[in-house]
Structure 1
Amino acid sequence: MPGTASLLLAIFFLVLFIVVWSLCLLGWRTARIRYAHPTLPSRLSSLPSTSAPGVTIIRPLCGLDQNLYNTLESCMTLDYPKYEVIFALQDENDEAIPVVRMVMEKYPEIKSKIIIDSTKIGVNPKVNNLLRPFQEASYDLLWVLDSTISVTSGTLGRSIEAFLSNHTQYSSPDDPESSPLMSAADDVRKPPISGEVGLVHQVPIAVVYQKTWGSLIEQAYLNTTHAKMYLAINAVAVDSCVVGKSNLYSRSNISELTTPSPSLRSLPNPPTGLAGYSPFLAEDNMIALGLWHQLNLKHAMTSDVACDFLGALTVKDYIDRRVRWLRVRKKMTPIIATLLEPFTESILAGLYGSWAIKRLLGANIPALFLVNLTVWLLIDLSTRKALETNIKNFKPPSNIGFFILAWLARECLALPIWLLAMTSDIVVWRGRRYKIISSGMSIFV
């Protein structure tokens, strides 16, 4: 019986090992195909403003985030004929406001404004920040960009192309006069309907100027493991997988959504639209899930990345960030996904994979483990190189030796961080303590 049990366990682990490696290779292959070449300019960039869909860019801000001036400036120099920018804050004394004014003064030709509104309808400060901009946006198409995110000039045009790629009301931009996409008089456009693309997002890539160990480890995580899995899951497309660093969607679609909270949905008049997501810290992921499941809208990605500028993080800062989002995610996903997550990491996968192969086929476990870790590192380095192809002007030169050391530290910390995340449901975000409850909702503690 023990022999049979170990045989069955070895078969299970071998299958899991193959699945994990398949996802890794799919993410790597997607990165090489989609990002490892110069991006092509969008055809929409050459359209007159009367023919291009208008877009409202919303930048929710709170304080002086890393490289703030440059990240805000990147949305004022876009190669796109028709857009406005709203800078959203909740405090008239916010330190970000002088930086915003400098950017606006440098680009007076770009339609932009500051909205300051202290309204709070829930625990999520970003949702509170977005409420008025959603109402006052001139256009139905909204592009929400986090304060630490910088983009290349062609990102918006390519995002609009992806957004409109299979809309029934869309005609090719090569023939703008015949396009029923919008009315030139008032820029009224039908929102996406079931089966069409309802959200466009980019994979986030970390950029580090202040090279502390915490920021280097976070960069190693985002530019390899996170990116691979993010690309693989979106390539399989069996469910929504979106982070809110850079999201383009229709305001009309958001207004159709009902809160995902089971308790709130049971009310006679459950909250709808953006307000329905105010109890969730991971509102970006929940909104994407709502578009996917409630409205049956697909998600799309472009060949662009969202450059996320990291500050001078300590190792503790890195651990706290990972623990925070693991604690949020474990309340949002099925328990089996949470339990299996450590088995997708290189070290644990190498251990159980090597043992399974030894048990079934006979092999040297240390040799197999070292081969697994070496090939995993090479795949991650190749993924990182592909993703950085078009952002060389955004980032400083990197030291491959330091990157590998940070990568090894990230891999060694993965399991301890997961174990720590499982011990509590309390998180700290921007100085406030929250308890994560059922379905990912949050309450102040």
Structure 2
Amino acid sequence: MAPMIYTLYGFAIFFFVFWCAMWLLHVLAILYGKFRLHRKIKELPPDVPYPGISILKPLMGVDPNLLSNLETFFTMQYPTYEILFCIEDEKDPSIELVNSLIEKYPKVATNVFIGGSTVSVNPKINNMHKAFEASNYDFILISDSGIRMREDTLQDMVGHMTETTGIVHQMPFTCDRPGFAATLEKIYFGTAQSRMYLSADCFRINCHTGMSTLMRKCVLVTKEGGLKSFGCYLAEDFFISKYFLDMGWRTRISSQPAMQNSGTCDVRSFQARLSRWAKLRMAMLPLVIVFEPLTECMVIGACAAWATSLLFRWEPVVFYLIHILVWLMCDWILLSIVQNGSLPFSKFDFIVGWLFRECTGPYLFILAVFDPSIRWRNRCFKLSWGGIAQEVKPRIKC
């Protein structure tokens, strides 16, 4: 009987300590976000020219916001850059859209690469490979199709590119859009995602997502194979960042978040995206299976309520409700910091969206555990431990 009691008390102490650590992350993310995000653009000294940047823009298909999103890349106030569009299918409707923008902005250096390559199992790497090889500048910006840029975004990212920094990436966030799905996305990226992203960046932990990433090309080409050497992973962004860190370079987030503005926004596709990311994290870092569920408000709150009832004889139901209320308030504060302005929904909408996200988060994680296959567009992949990907019925061998 005694060993069982000791075991219970051991679990209770673990859950209570983990719960306290999560609150420290809450406070850290709020303070670091206030300090780090939406700062004044760092101007380079007058005698230091702005470096040229090659923007790799992989495209596939057209959504209602693609034209306006792409146009923001043509109107940036930055002295020297080129846009390299990467389109795998020669019949892709985005080609016509891109050509119309090239005609509208003839002074912007552009090139269109159609057909992709078969150098890896990663479709994104295959799509970008030709453009990467043909890029003219020492800095590469990889930018997903759904990203919207401000006129000064490149200046902001370059301003954080110090002599010891190899990668500057934008923290994922979303543009203001109508509908419950858009509210849900903004709440997730402005709370759960931002909390871990800001905390990881503060401690210099690899938290890199590759939706908008500025990196030194010279570091990539020092690895045999260059960009294509990361094509055996689906989460190439994580392993690119890991390589930079292993080579002694720093990675940093810029002060402007990445403004996702996909024209296709629905709850099911968003949840599928979260589940896909969870599968990638589990394959890359197996301990995620144990610890990630404990970062969820509802899960760690229930564990902590049980732990404090055993350790301190506190009322578990009251503790749990107070825990949820304070967590919600902290998330509202963090979301407001990341938004840096008025939110496009009411407090009631926030509460509904927040509760939906927090209650479905553990469920999506469980689904990811029991279905490890990755579905990306019309293709399916399986992952081995360490993040190595293999396509089901592959087109190429990796």
| TM-score bracket for the superposition, by shorter chain length | over 0.9
RMSD of the TM alignment (CA)? 2.0
Q: Which secondary structure state, in structure 1, belongs to the residue aligned with residue 34 of structure 2?
A: helix
In the alignment, what sits opposite 1:285?
A: 238
Deviation at 1:347, TM superposition (A): 0.5
Contact 1:425 1:437 in 2 (8 A): no
Verify: 1:3 aligned to 2:11, yes or no: no
In the alignment, what sits opposite 2:17?
A: 15
What letter is aligned with 1:389? N
In the alignment, what sits opposite 2:154?
A: 156
More off after superposition, 55-64 vs 96-105: 96-105
Distance 1:248 1:65 in 2: 25
Contact 1:208 1:311 in 2 (8 A): no
Distance 2:315 2:189 in 1: 32
Contact 2:116 2:128 in 1 (8 A): no
Find the partner of 1:298 among 250, 260, 265: 250
In the alignment, what sits opposite 2:217?
A: 251
Deviation at 1:305, TM superposition (A): 0.8
In the alignment, what sits opposite 2:194?
A: 227
Tell me the alpha carbon deviations over residues 189-227 of structure 1, each in whole angstroms, 9 at most, x when there is no partner: xxxxxxx2110001010235352x444333321121011
What letter is aligned with 1:223? G
Verify: 1:408 aligned to 2:355, yes or no: yes
Where does the alignment leave 5 or more consecutive residues of structure 1 unmatched?
168-195, 259-271
Deviation at 1:66, TM superposition (A): 5.0
Verify: 1:368 aligned to 2:319, yes or no: yes
Equivalent pairs, count: 390
Verify: 1:352 aligned to 2:320, yes or no: no
Deviation at 1:47, TM superposition (A): 5.7
Find the partner of 2:229 among 270, 276, 299: 276
Find the partner of 1:27 among 9, 19, 29: 29
Find the partner of 2:169 among 201, 217, 229: 201
Find the partner of 1:79 among 63, 74, 77: 77
Contact 1:121 1:128 in 2 (8 A): yes
Matches within 5 A, 1:38-437: 39-44=39-44, 51-65=49-63, 67-163=65-161, 165=162, 167=163, 196-211=164-179, 213-237=180-204, 239-257=205-223, 272-293=225-246, 295-333=247-285, 335-389=286-340, 397-437=344-384
Distance 2:347 2:79 in 1: 40
Tell me the alpha carbon deviations over residues 344-367 of structure 1, each in whole angstroms, 9 at most, x when there is no partner: 110011111122222222222111
Runs of 4+ in structure 1 deviating by more than 4 angstroms, as ranges, are none
Q: Which secondary structure state, in structure 2, belongs to the residue aligned with residue 144 of structure 1?
A: strand
Deviation at 1:403, TM superposition (A): 2.7
Distance 2:75 2:263 in 1: 24
Contact 1:56 1:86 in 2 (8 A): yes
Tell me the alpha carbon deviations over residues 152-183 of structure 1, each in whole angstroms, 9 at most, x when there is no partner: 221211211211x2x2xxxxxxxxxxxxxxxx
What letter is aligned with 1:152? R
TM-score normalized by the length of structure 1: 0.83
What letter is aligned with 1:99? L
Distance 1:371 1:337 in 2: 27
Q: Which secondary structure state, in structure 1, belongs to the residue aligned with residue 166 of structure 2?
A: strand
Distance 1:160 1:286 in 2: 22
Q: 1:311 to 1:110 in 2, by over 3 A?
A: closer
Tell me the alpha carbon deviations over residues 255-283 of structure 1, each in whole angstroms, 9 at most, x when there is no partner: 1225xxxxxxxxxxxxx311111121111
What letter is aligned with 2:168? V
Q: Which secondary structure state, in structure 2, belongs to the residue aligned with residue 200 of structure 1?
A: strand
Q: Which secondary structure state, in structure 1, belongs to the residue aligned with residue 11 of structure 2?
A: helix
Contact 1:47 1:81 in 2 (8 A): no
More off after superposition, 3-12 vs 225-234: 3-12
Distance 2:321 2:149 in 1: 38
Q: 1:33 to 1:115 in 2, by over 3 A?
A: same
Distance 2:64 2:207 in 1: 26
Q: Which secondary structure state, in structure 1, belongs to the residue aligned with residue 284 of structure 2?
A: coil
Q: Which secondary structure state, in structure 1, belongs to the residue aligned with residue 141 of structure 2?
A: strand
